[in-house]
Amino acid sequence: MSSNAKLPHWDMNAIYPGLESAEFEAGFQTAIAAIDALVEQFDAHGILLRETPPPIDEETRATFETILASYNAVAVQGHTLYAYLSNLISTDSFNESAQARLSELQRHYVKMGQLYTRLTAWLGSLDVEALIAASPLAEAHAFALRQAAELAQHLMSPEEEALAAQLRLTGSGAWAKLYNNYTSQITVPLDIAGQPPTLPITAVRNLAYNPDRAIRQAAYQAELDAWKRHALPIASALNSIKGELLTLAERRRWDSPLDIALFNNNTDHETLDAMLTAAREFFPDFRRYLRAKARVLGVPQLAWYDLFAPVGESKQTWEFPQARAFIEEQFGAYSDQLAALARRAFEEHWIDAEPRDGKRGGAFCAWMRGGESRILANFQPAYGGMGTLAHELGHAYHNLARAGCTYIQRQTPMTLAETASNFCEALIQEAALAQAPPEEQLAILEASLQDACQVIVDITSRFIFETEVFEKRAARELSAEEFSAIMLAAQRETYGDGLDPEQLHPYMWAVKPHYYTVTFYNFPYMFGLLFSLGLYAQYRENPSEFKERYDSLLAATGMADAATLAARFGINVRTPDFWRASLDIIRGDIDRFEALCERVNV
């Protein structure tokens, strides 16, 4: 298979045969009817804020168990339908039928958000600890109930919460949809020999991996020009989304948007401060890596467009079939269950790998139903492309591990959502390094360090950016130029002399879709990488004992806070020492990278 051969598209027909099918229409109407029936059930049982807390008697216990079981069942049903439509659009934003049906579903699905708010308020009225003691179902959902009781303290009035949920469709939700659709359709004119005259912006960004520096530089400049031309509506989206959040945070009595993000990620300021302290201490090591890469490339200092440049002289191109075979083999070396998951994903066409017009950039794994997922990638025939596949398959394995959980139990925060994905990447890296000659080892380490640098250094820059944006947006809207200036300052603070300060990327705020859907999406990725590295070190020390506990940890990521789950493996995430130990693993890779640079004399 050559690099130009057609890459696989995922099969969504296993979910529904098509938008025009009777099966889809029946599923759509059934989901809407189920939501409406759930509303009636909530009304009949008086599930809303109670001024006088009801006693935890047999009637209250039975009401809770009935309502929770119904909510879990309807939420799963609606999730599958929502994921189906969203995934169709993620690979083809020109699909007007899918866009229309998703918009129609969202109008009904807003009721689920309102119902969850009512359930939260009702639980906040109860003696949750007494309920947990009285009901086995409540005990199985104990963590979620305690979180709900705390969240209830940050709710507006029922009428205000209902209105906020409705307005989100035409507010932040609409702006996020505009961002995704608009950016997925941006095409970029090019003047690069051997390239088409125009390319989707995702394909232009992929040219950052090209070995020819002139092509990388030309693509970088073309990309920046494109973002500048399209910056106005994107900046409007970001202003509106962050402005809405600030307003709601104040009305819900949160101290800051960061406090909301920490609560949603089942973690705390102490843990975040410990992790960021260790990360900042480590910046000199990453700059050492970037300077070594500059020497390899023969330039005095890396520009932004050199960050993803390949190094080494690997003869392994990692075409898709080769990547698949290697992943299945190495997953099998870990466990039969992990290998079976990978085989199923490939054989049942869960993966959409081809970059194309109308398809969103990046990669993700979407849970569909039961233990079934779909994986979006923009595959490149290089080690990094294979690493991304392994990463997303790790998410699919995590989804499989939670297949026996209820909808509420499987709600995993981003801090813990990266646990299995990064672990699977580590499996692949170790195996690839073990059998590769020095030149290919250099290329593999480079791909790994690229990712680590993004997750530690660049993620910190994005955290700094979002922090300042919220501070300034509280006073007024910001222009596209101001967003870019904040981003550049954050990049200079974090990358330091590792990159040319005049060749950075001022439009990363426009590139990253997470800013438009999640508050402070950034630090959980760092948590995920470093937490999984710590777990991987324990796996290497005692594989059999680790495997006995690992799947149960994955299944429980929605049923305890991060510190509690980490403590099961003897990890204290509230001190910098754990994070420093995980970063030491990356330091070893940097040391090895520098030594290989000298050895292969590139």
Kindly write down the DSSP assignment for every residue of 36-92, as one continuous string.
HHHHHHHHHHT-S--SSPPP-SHHHHHHHHHHHHHHHHHHHHHHHHHHHHHHHHHH-
Q: Please give the single-letter amino acid code of residue 90.
A: S
The mean pLDDT of 106-115, rounded to a whole number, is 91
For 229-261, write each residue's pLDDT tens digit: 999 999 999 999 999 999 999 999 999 999 999
Average pLDDT, rounded, for the chain: 94
From the list 435, 206, 447, the residue with the least C-alpha distance to 312 is: 447
26: left (phi over 0), alpha (psi -120 to 50) or beta: alpha
| pLDDT higher than 50, residue 1 | no
Q: Is 276 helix (H, G, I), strand (E, B) or coil?
A: helix
For 272-318, write each residue's pLDDT tens digit: 999 999 999 999 999 999 999 999 999 999 999 999 998 877 677 88
Q: What pLDDT score does 193 carry?
A: 87
Q: What pLDDT score does 194 carry?
A: 86
For 178-208, write each residue's pLDDT tens digit: 999 999 899 999 999 888 999 999 889 989 9
Distance of CA 572 to the CA centre of its chain: 24
Contact call for residues 306 and 297 (beta carbons, < 8 A): yes
Higher-confidence position of 493 and 439: 493
Percentage of the chain beyond pLDDT 70 is 98
For 33-76, write each residue's pLDDT tens digit: 999 999 999 999 999 988 888 899 999 999 999 999 999 999 99
Q: Residue 289, CB half-sphere, CA atoms under 13 Å: how many? A: 31
Q: Please give the single-letter amino acid code of residue 265.
A: N
3-state secondary structure 404-436: CCCCCCCCCCHHHHCHHHHHHHHHHHHHHHHHC
Q: Which two tokens stand for residue 262?
A: 């920490």
Q: What pLDDT score does 314 carry?
A: 67
| pLDDT higher than 70, residue 119 | yes
What global pTM score does this model have? 0.85
Neighbours of 232 (CB within 10 A): 11
Q: In whole angstroms, what is the distance from residue 553 CA to residue 58 CA?
A: 33
* Radius of gyration of the chain, Cα coordinates, nearest whole angstrom: 24
Contact call for residues 435 and 570 (beta carbons, < 8 A): no
For 573-587, write each residue's pLDDT tens digit: 999 999 999 999 999
Q: In whole angstroms, what is the distance from residue 521 CA to residue 482 CA?
A: 21
The helix (run of H) or strand (run of E) holding residue 193 is: none
For 260-284, write each residue's pLDDT tens digit: 999 999 999 999 999 999 999 999 9
